[in-house]
Amino acid sequence: MSGSAAAGGAPLLEVRGLQVHFPITEGLLVERRVGAVRAVDGIDLEIAPGETLGLVGESGCGKSTAGKAILRLVPLTAGTIVFDGEDVTDIRGSSLRRLRRRMQMIFQDPYSSLDPRQSVGSILAEPLRTHGLAKGEAAVREVRRLLDAVGLPASAAGRYPHEFSGGQRQRVGIARALALRPDLVVADEPVSALDVSIQAQVVNLLEELQDSFGLTYLVIAHDLAVVRHISDRVAVMYLGHIVEVAPSDELYETPLHPYTIALLSAIPIPDPVVEERRERVLLAGDLPSPADPPAGCRFHTRCPFRQQTRCHDEVPVLRELRPGHTVACHWAEDIEGGRLRPRDPVASAVPAPVGPPG
């Protein structure tokens, strides 16, 4: 985990009110808009230089869309993105091209994110040529340097993606993201498509490269155990909203949002005695549709501690309850020591105490 996150300094990345809505249309000859999928519906994020921010949540909560929107890979509906003090929300053309050099992405699936018709050397040299950084022999040397940085032999440059294992392909994807020497790297589920035995190697590689290249990471994942290992801070996302942000250790030891507690209770503990005795917080129902999100607190349809009035009608805002620890829950003060205390019989179930995940 990086220890270089700036304390109180200017953030490298600042996101305010970010929204990404995808239109729902109907009609064959004449399309008309009948709604929208609110994939990201107003989130605020800050990342300090050298910091690693983990963004976690269930599949479908909008975290991958948020990462792509920050890199301007999908159109924004609303909000602002400030990178290194410059508002990059609406930049186009050559200005956006220059921004690409400083913000790169590691994609989730190493099997589909690499062009099978290009050799690894060609894949890594392409961004160098596109941005005019190196060509010819200089590009060859840079490709070798990148392969060495991610632990692959120089001979890998002449091979094709199908000749590599999943872990090796992800290393190629990481090398491609580093080719332009960016400041910010968005890693979208960087290990989810890999075998468990390979995941630790890739996570350790990301940490080593952060120290070597001075990188800032936004790590998107649903595996909270991986996020805890690599992140300085963690933001928890639910149905397009950020519901909790805290330093990594504090979030895992003293979560304050019912959704976060439920996620952490699902992490298996490598101790059969403890695992057998503890009880998990089980959420009722399915994730609501982002095309028709619930009114009030979006989590209230699944929260066993919802209240009849406020939770149904009033949207909770992120508020700071501890230094650096913000939570969007009306009743977060009633969460003590990992135990939720319902205020009235509306609660559908009373979860057992939830201890630290490991």
Give the CA-trace dihedral at 227, 10, 325, 21, to 10 degrees: -70
268 lies in some domain = yes
Both 135 and 53 in a single domain? Answer: no
User: Domain end: 152, 179, 206, which one?
Assistant: 179
Both 218 and 265 in a single domain? Answer: no
- Distance (Å, rounded) from C-alpha 248 to C-alpha 235? 9
35 lies in some domain = yes
289 lies in some domain = yes
Q: Classify strands 241-247 and 233-238 as parallel, antiparallel or unpaired.
A: antiparallel
For 110-159, how does the pLDDT look when each residue is reduced to its tens digit (9 = 90+)?
Answer: 888 999 999 999 999 999 999 999 889 999 999 999 999 999 999 999 99
Sorting pLDDT into bands at 50, 70 and 90, what band is 338?
very low
- Distance (Å, rounded) from C-alpha 105 to C-alpha 174? 8
Calculate the alpha carbon distances from 267 to 7, 174, 200, 281, 349 in Å.
30, 27, 17, 11, 20
Both 156 and 24 in a single domain? Answer: no
34 lies in some domain = yes
Sorting pLDDT into bands at 50, 70 and 90, what band is 352?
very low
Tally of domains within the chain: 3
Q: Which two tokens stand for residue 16?
A: 């305010």
Q: Which of 189-193, 230-234, 259-263, 302-306 has the highest mean pLDDT?
A: 230-234
Both 2 and 128 in a single domain? Answer: no
Both 216 and 286 in a single domain? Answer: no
Whether this model's pTM surpasses 0.95: no
Both 83 and 156 in a single domain? Answer: no
17 lies in some domain = yes
Both 163 and 187 in a single domain? Answer: no
Both 174 and 192 in a single domain? Answer: no
In 10 A of CB 171, how many CB atoms?
Answer: 25
Sorting pLDDT into bands at 50, 70 and 90, what band is 76?
very high
| pLDDT above 80 (res 166) | yes
Both 275 and 224 in a single domain? Answer: no
- The amino acid at 167: G
For 265-312, how does the pLDDT look when each residue is reduced to its tens digit (9 = 90+)?
Answer: 877 777 677 666 766 777 877 888 999 999 999 999 998 778 777 888
9 lies in some domain = yes
Q: Which two tokens stand for residue 177?
A: 């993201």
Q: Which two tokens stand for residue 11?
A: 């953030």
92 lies in some domain = yes
Looking at per-residue pLDDT, the higher value among 6 and 191 belongs to: 191
Domain limits for position 150: 116-179
Both 186 and 84 in a single domain? Answer: yes
